[in-house]
């Protein structure tokens, strides 16, 4: 389930799932109640107006809950992941971990897909350590396509002793599953979950093994 097909460098793998919310503290409390495990604070994204909390999914992947950071001024533009327009939490995106991200982008463009120019990002951990990475713009990831992320020499968040809520399954629907698979192939990525099903809209659902049983996260916490 974790593996995806890559071209440049090591194969791309599922890096993390993005659960975006307009109310970070409220959503963290809700996730903790549903799973029996409280997400821990990751850090703020300077200039983006957001911060996150994290859970380990196992297999080198993690679950990111991201929302507005009240300790930052409002950003110059919209927050990533459509946070400003959300009325509740939603599983909005996924990222694949790659190496040689510039080469990956060039190869995707040669196949007719453009994930956007890689940008540098950084944040401070709660302990004060600075971690940096490069990623393609999440807003360029349409439908079920992921954004690409290259951690370089930075330590991966999943290796920092995060509390674990294992990922049991990753499901997706799309109005045209074949077109969705073609879009992934153009990025050099293979869908890492259950077969993509036909549905009225592109939508992700992650099922996690909480301490009280299975919990699904899609359009909202505990979503079917």
pLDDT class for 224, splitting at 50, 70, 90? very low
| 117-140 residue pLDDT tens | 999 998 888 888 888 999 999 998
Residue 24 lies in a domain: yes
Q: What is the CATH number of the domain that holds 186?
A: 3.10.180.10
pLDDT at 10: 65
Residue 89 lies in a domain: yes
Query: Token pair 């049991």 is at which residue?
Result: 168
- pLDDT averaged over every residue in the chain: 91
Residue 222 lies in a domain: no
CB 192 within 8 A of CB 171: no
| 5-48 residue pLDDT tens | 444 556 789 999 999 999 999 999 999 999 999 999 999 998 89
| Helix ranges, 112-202 (H) | 177-186
Residue 171 lies in a domain: yes
Domain count, the chain: 1
Residue 51 lies in a domain: yes
CB 64 within 8 A of CB 38: no
Question: CA-CA distances (angstroms) from residue 3 to 11, 66, 108, 170?
Answer: 8, 25, 18, 13
Residue 6 lies in a domain: no
Count of CA atoms in the C-beta half-sphere (13 A) of 212: 10
> The tokens of 157 are what?
């968040």
Domain hosting 145: range is: 13-217
Burial of 158 (0-12, 13-18, 19+ CB in 10 A): buried
Residue 8 lies in a domain: no
CA distance 46 to 188: 30
What is the model's pTM?
0.92
pLDDT exceeds cutoff 70 at 210: yes
């Amino acid at each position: 389930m974790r593996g995806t097909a890559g071209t440049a460098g090591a194969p791309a793998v599922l890096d993390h799932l993005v659960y975006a919310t307009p109310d970070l503290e409220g959503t963290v409390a809700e996730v903790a109640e549903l799973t029996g495990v409280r997400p821990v604070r990751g850090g703020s994204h300077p200039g983006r107006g957001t911060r996150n909390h994290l859970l380990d999914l196992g297999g080198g992947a993690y679950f990111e809950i991201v929302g507005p950071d009240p300790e930052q001024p409002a950003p110059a533009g919209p927050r990533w992941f459509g946070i400003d327009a959300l009325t509740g939490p939603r599983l909005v995106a996924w990222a694949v971990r790659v190496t040689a991200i510039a080469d990956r982008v060039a190869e995707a463009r040669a196949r007719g897909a453009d994930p956007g120019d890689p940008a540098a990002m950084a944040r401070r951990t709660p302990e004060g350590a600075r971690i940096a990475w490069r990623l393609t713009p999440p807003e360029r990831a349409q439908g079920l396509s992921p954004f690409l992320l290259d951690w370089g020499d930075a330590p991966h968040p999943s290796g920092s002793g995060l509390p674990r809520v294992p990922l049991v399954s990753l499901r997706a629907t799309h109005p045209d599953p074949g077109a969705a698979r073609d879009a992934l192939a153009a990025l050099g990525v293979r869908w890492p979950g259950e077969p993509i099903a036909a549905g009225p809209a592109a939508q992700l659902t992650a099922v996690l093994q909480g301490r009280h049983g299975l919990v699904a996260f899609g359009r909202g916490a505990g979503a079917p």
